[in-house]
């Protein structure tokens, strides 16, 4: 694998993102939703606590729909306009293509997440927050975005229709999100043994994200997100490789 090829693909994809008004629409929607849920829905000022707990509690649900919206065009658009076959004949490997496209989309989402820095400035101005959980919360957001994006990459490789890719991605990501959502785990614990509840919750994005949100950097959480990304990108490679061999 050539890092030079990956870098070139990342640069090309990023220029495509910021050369389109869709990217700016995504950023504006993300920032508006983040502010609305943090300050209005969660009643930030009424809580009387200078922290970003409300923001990070809503982040998985905001990402649940916005990240698949970014990922749905990764491969589906290439198939729709007929350029996927051309890409697969270029002197670059499938691994380089997948990594380049994935990293470009990930960097774009991370850029949007970084634009929420005024929230950090706000809580710092209003009080003396513990910066440890805030830093870990942003780290968790970056890893969560990578996991959701990898799922979207896989579903996008399965179809030429972006809407179908989006729906499939949301459904899969919703399953991984709800598996560790407290109301769901409480409902399961009413009839299932504790080990089964822990097993189901262990597959959830929310469970591992919440550990980071609390300021706890556990190697198991990092391995979990890395494993999800690796498996989903590997599945993407299998799908694209099978298509090239047809």
**151: enclosing H helix or E strand:** helix 131-158
Q: Which domain holds residue 12?
A: 3-245
pLDDT, tens only, 140-162: 999 999 999 999 999 998 888 88
pLDDT, tens only, 164-194: 999 999 999 998 888 766 666 666 666 667 6
pLDDT at 86 over 80: no
The total of structural domains in the chain comes to 1
What's the confidence (pLDDT) of residue 152?
93
Residue 25's closest CA among 70, 63, 62, 64?
70
**Which positions ≥6 away from 59 have C-beta within 8 Å?**
34, 137, 141, 144, 209
Helices (H) and strands (E) in the chain, counts: 14, 0
Query: Which of 127-141, 193-207, 217-231 shows the lowest per-residue confidence on average (mean pLDDT)?
Result: 193-207
Residue 98's closest CA among 246, 245, 231?
231
pLDDT at 246 over 60: no
| Phi-psi domain of 82 (left: phi exceeds 0; alpha: psi -120 through 50; beta: other) | left
Q: Which residue has the higher pLDDT, 19 or 150?
A: 150
What's the confidence (pLDDT) of residue 215?
83
Confidence (pTM): 0.89
Q: What is the CA radius of gyration of the chain?
A: 19
pLDDT at 100 over 80: yes
């Amino acid at each position: 694998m050539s890092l030079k090829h990956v870098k070139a693909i990342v640069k090309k994809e990023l220029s495509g993102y910021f050369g389109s008004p869709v990217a700016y629409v995504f950023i504006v929607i993300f920032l508006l939703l983040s502010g609305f849920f943090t300050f209005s829905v969660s009643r930030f000022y009424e809580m009387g606590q200078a922290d970003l707990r409300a923001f990070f509690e809503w982040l998985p649900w905001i990402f649940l729909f916005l990240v698949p919206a970014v990922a749905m065009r990764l491969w589906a658009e290439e198939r729709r306009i007929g350029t996927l076959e051309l890409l697969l004949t270029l002197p670059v490997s499938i691994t380089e293509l997948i990594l380049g496209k994935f990293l470009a989309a990930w960097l774009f989402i991370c850029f949007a997440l970084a634009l929420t820095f005024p929230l950090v400035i706000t809580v710092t101005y209003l009080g003396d927050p513990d910066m440890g959980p805030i830093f870990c919360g942003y780290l968790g957001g970056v890893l969560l975005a990578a996991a959701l994006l990898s799922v979207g990459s896989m579903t996008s490789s399965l179809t030429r229709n972006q809407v179908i890719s989006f729906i499939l991605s949301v459904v899969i990501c919703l399953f991984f999100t709800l598996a560790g959502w407290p109301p769901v785990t409480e409902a399961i614990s009413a009839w299932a043994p504790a080990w089964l509840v822990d097993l189901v919750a262990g597959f959830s994005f929310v469970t591992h994200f919440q550990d980071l949100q609390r300021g706890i950097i556990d190697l198991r959480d990092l391995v979990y997100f890395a494993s999800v990304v690796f498996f989903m990108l590997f599945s993407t490679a299998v799908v694209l490789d099978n298509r090239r061999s047809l």
